[in-house]
Amino acid sequence: MGKYTYFVLAAYALTGISVGGLIAIIVMDYRRLRKALAKFPPREGQDRD
Amino acid sequence: MWKYANPANFLRLANAVIPWTAALTVILLLIGLYGAFVTSPADYQQGDSVRIMYIHVPAAWLSMFCYGVMSASALGTLVWRHPLADAAQKAAAPLGAVFTLVCLVTGSIWGKPTWGTWWVWDARLTSVLVMFIIYLGLIALWHAIEEPSQAGKAAAILTLVGVINLPIIKFSVDWWNTLHQPASVIRMDGPTIAPSMLWPLLVMAVAFTTLFVTLHLMATRNEILRRRLRRLSIIAAQENRSAAVRPVAQEA
């Protein structure tokens, strides 16, 4: 690419970092919640999912 | 739709759909990036910096689409009292904030080689910045009120007040003299962009949309689990308290 290579790379890298960070936060939150919910015994008739 | 008002039904649906939308997102992103970097030409004026368009424009569309989803959820909370509406609304706010931030940052990076400046206070840029601040305000509001249903109602009202910003963003380039270019894809007389640039842009837009659907399902699922955890923690605390009080009562 030409003289604007660094601008293009910076834009794509920052987008990747932002979206990747968002995905990581959501996945870690899910794992933490599942771990915390596993400490409670399932009640009668409750769907554990 | 009311069938999925039941959180257990929604969780089953989300668990089944998320892998498929995630896979579709990856495939579309690969096709879109191939089009953006390999098949589409550099612009005759902007050179290769035009390739920023393939993430900037989808991020901009999605930032507005996400606010539209939040507004529909806000109506669901206030008018139809749909049990999952405020969970869906709360889950969408951080996604909207991130995509708006991506739109602002990539626009700024694109602006430097194209306009010669990182930022100008023109109508389009300023109205998008206002939307970003509204997103942050909504996230702060949810964290400030402990009771989820009260927080949901307050956030729904603020979301609906902020809807006024959506047409301002869309038509700002027509209503005022701005440095930002006017619409070149969604126009009454058809797109003015070359087909070789249009198809990668549309593929990336669909990819960003499926990415949003995936992340929104995941975040809403988290919100349902968070509320279930909160409810179970309260029940467990009440049971522990009654168990502690019982022996004292028996002694008396």
pTM, to two decimals: 0.89
Chain A contact present for B51, CB below 8 A: yes
| Contact (CB<8Å) A11/B109 | yes
Residue B173 has pLDDT above 80, yes or no: yes
Chain B residues whose CB is inside 8 A of the A10 CB are 109
Chain A contact present for B90, CB below 8 A: no
Nearest Cα residue in chain A from B236: A40
How far apart (Å, rounded) are the C-alpha atoms in residues B206 and B248? Answer: 64
Q: Check if the beta carbon of residue B179 is closer than 8 Å to that of residue B121.
A: no
| Contact (CB<8Å) B49/A7 | yes
Q: Pick A14's closest partner by Cβ from B105, B221, B222.
A: B105
Per-residue pLDDT tens over the stretch B27-56: 999 999 999 999 988 888 888 889 999 999
Structure tokens at B157: 């009202």
How far apart (Å, rounded) are the C-alpha atoms in residues B204 and B63? Answer: 14
Alpha helices by DSSP H, listed for B7-147, are: 7-34, 53-78, 85-115, 123-144
Per-residue pLDDT tens over the stretch A1-49: 577 889 999 999 999 999 999 999 999 999 999 999 998 876 655 554 4
Per-residue pLDDT tens over the stretch B74-129: 999 899 888 788 899 999 999 999 999 999 999 999 999 988 999 999 899 999 99
Chain A contact present for B232, CB below 8 A: yes
Selected residue with higher pLDDT from B186 and B135? B135
Assembly ipTM? 0.86
Q: How far is CA B196 from CA A2, B55, B128, B203, in A?
A: 19, 16, 28, 12
Q: Which of B6, B11, B225 to substitute to test the interface with A, most A CBs within 10 Å?
A: B225
Which residue, B216, B213, B67, is CA-closest to B132?
A: B67
Residues whose CB is less than 8 angstroms from the CB of residue B221 and which lie 6 or more positions away in sequence, other chains included: A30, B10, B11, B14, B15, B18
Rg of chain B, C-alpha, whole Å? 22
